[in-house]
Chain A
């Protein structure tokens, strides 16, 4: 009745030594990623960008409104990425890697700053490309929130932040061997620090309230707000963020080579690139 045919011409050939791309980024999804990133910069950095007379500068409005909008933005980007082609193999691989991330999350919840989730995210994005990394970041955070009961207004922000980390890991230049491990370590340290910084920034007015001297003042000079934010960060979460950056970097340094080898072997076994199409047998 039907004949399976492997078409290699349409969807990119399997090239030995090149990483597979289970979630391809086309022109539409690339545009969506750029627009979502521009929106994300505003949503995370709103305390520095908001003007004094803006209606959302006070109270709890901004994180809630931006959180709801972010959820829709992430949903749209995921829909466009899925439309570009996400087959059963990509879904199963994403599901398993997200499960590993979600299972690792409780290990880090109690102890200061240990967040092993990011290391599997960075390595997954590295092995399977930026599109895969983006979806892995968003779904891992969502799944782990479901498992640990961490659903809250911060979830859309965490999803976009982790999705950026996976996306960035996939966009790193192609080097192999020791230089690759060194590159990934540097990226891990930077990404973890930045993640902590932007998460803090977006929830600084929300978490602290307006009554202290390190609180957010809407529409104040950027430098003054930044100084207060630095003081707030230093007194609350710097130890946490540094601890996370150090543990993730050490984990990447020690395990990048074997884990990447395992991921790439699984990618070769799954043979993501050739697309199988069924045509009626005439």
Chain B
């Protein structure tokens, strides 16, 4: 069903060496592995307010991103997430200074205070700014910023557009809509530029809303015409071939999906209400997730499709994912063992401590920066392929130099 051009098929006696080959071949890390790793890092960040640990987490994310970032324009966005994180910390600090809650006793500055009437539910503006309150606001802001940086690392390392390829068949249509949208948006801007140039050539000089309308409507009409043409092309190429799903399987899939939804709904409200014993929310969550996922997998047989260059989940990818899970587990363990390392006291304000357990976690999380498959420069893609490709690229190179 799926055809891969990355690895030659394993035949006969060479099969026993498959394990060794998995480590030797240079399969790119699976995007899902990067997401598991980054979400593990995010989970670790959500379990601590220790600023030293949070800074180390950001450093790990930045190190792995710097080492394993693919060479695409998409991958330049990590810096934006770092800046966004700084903005979050700054905003939190400003909010705390202006609308602080009067927590702590080491007063740094007195701001003029505006007293609000009784009904304002204890809201105060201005007043004392304390070291304890400020530290607590900054710690909490840093935790949120670290979380954002972890998501940014996942987005940078694993292009979410590659993840779309691994979507189950039941979500094929929705994924296809996103792919069409992402690839057509630049064409729309180009179309707008073309219409505008045509208007200028005709000497039209309308401004303001009239100009907007005389550009936007032709662009919209063109785009809609393109949609009808695209649909015809997809139909002509056999899109939407309904797979071999029996009526029974379809009903099973729908029933599982609906049961999963109900389970998730029940679990959501169970989690909100502590009066419901934990024994209701957690099983409902497990059943809901399991039923939804199985329903999606069963429903996936609705579609028959082949994948070009499917992403493979090899041992190196598994290692990356395990590193993420390990740091999350070690940080949860640290939180359970005692409060002072995970959540350093801000009242009284003390210097945050470090411990061996979370440091081991940090070291493990940094491992993918060295152990995962290195990223190849994009140019080698054509060179590394088959002999024909090599010949073709040699010929092209010659042609260029001859000219």
Contacts and interface: CB of A to CB of B under 8 A. Distances in A.
A143 B176 CA distance: 11
B100 A79 contact: no
Interface in A82-97: 82-83, 86-89, 91-97
Interface string B199-226: 0000000000100010011001101111
B101 A143 contact: no
Interface string B263-283: 011011101111100100000
A232 to B, nearest CB: 8
B349 interface: no
Interface stretch (A166-174, A190-198, A237-245, A252-260): A252-260
Contacts of A53: 274
B224 A96 contact: yes
Contact of B180 (A28, A92, A208, A269): A92
**A77, A99, A227 — most chain B CB neighbours (10 Å):** A99
A142 B178 contact: yes
B383 interface: no
Interface residues of A, number: 90
Contacts of B224: 93, 96, 262-263, 265-266
Contacts of B223: 96, 99-100
Interface centre among A61, A208, A213, A266 (most CB of B within 10 A): A213
Interface stretch (B25-33, B254-262, B304-312): B254-262
Contacts of A65: 271
Interface string B294-326: 011001001000000000000000000000000
Contact of B171 (A69, A78, A214): A78
A266 B227 contact: yes
A189 B175 CA distance: 30
B327 interface: no
Contacts of B257: 32, 76, 79-80
Given A35-B265, A54-B271, A66-B268, A96 B174 contact: no
B121 A98 contact: no
Contacts of A118: none
A103 B181 CA distance: 9
B122 interface: yes
B272 A92 contact: no
Contact of A214 (B102, B123, B274, B295): B123
B268 A212 contact: no
Interface in A32-85: 32, 35-36, 38-39, 42-43, 46, 49-56, 59-61, 64-66, 69, 72-73, 75-80, 82-83
A209 B172 contact: no
A139 B177 contact: yes
Contacts of B187: 99
Nearest to B151: A152
Given A91-B234, A224-B121, A103 B188 contact: yes
Given A50-B272, A103-B185, A211 B230 contact: no
Interface stretch (B16-24, B140-148, B394-402): B140-148
A53 B281 CA distance: 14
A99 B123 contact: no
A176 B225 CA distance: 24
Given A100-B223, A211-B137, A227-B119, A91 B173 contact: yes
A254 B209 contact: yes
Given A59-B46, A83-B302, A213 B273 contact: no
A77 B295 CA distance: 12
B161 A146 contact: yes
A147 interface: yes
Nearest to B236: A88
Contacts of A212: 95-96, 99-101, 137
B254 A80 contact: yes
A143 B161 CA distance: 9
Interface in B163-196: 170-174, 176-182, 184-189
A72 B271 CA distance: 17
Contact of A95 (B102, B216, B227, B302): B227
B170 A95 contact: no
A186 interface: no
Contacts of B265: 35, 38-39, 42
Contacts of B185: 99-100, 102-103, 143, 147
Interface in A261-282: 262-263, 265-266, 269-270
Contacts of A247: none
B177 A54 contact: no
B366 to A, nearest CB: 23
A80 B121 CA distance: 45
B180 A231 contact: no
Taking each of A88, A135, A210, which has the highest tally of chain B beta carbons within 10 Å of its own beta carbon?
A: A88
13 contacts: A72-B289, A75-B171, A78-B173, A80-B254, A92-B231, A96-B184, A97-B227, A103-B189, A149-B77, A211-B140, A212-B100, A266-B228, A270-B227
Q: Which 10 A-B pairs have the closest CB atoms?
A: A95-B180, A98-B181, A143-B181, A53-B274, A266-B224, A99-B184, A92-B231, A96-B227, A88-B234, A79-B170
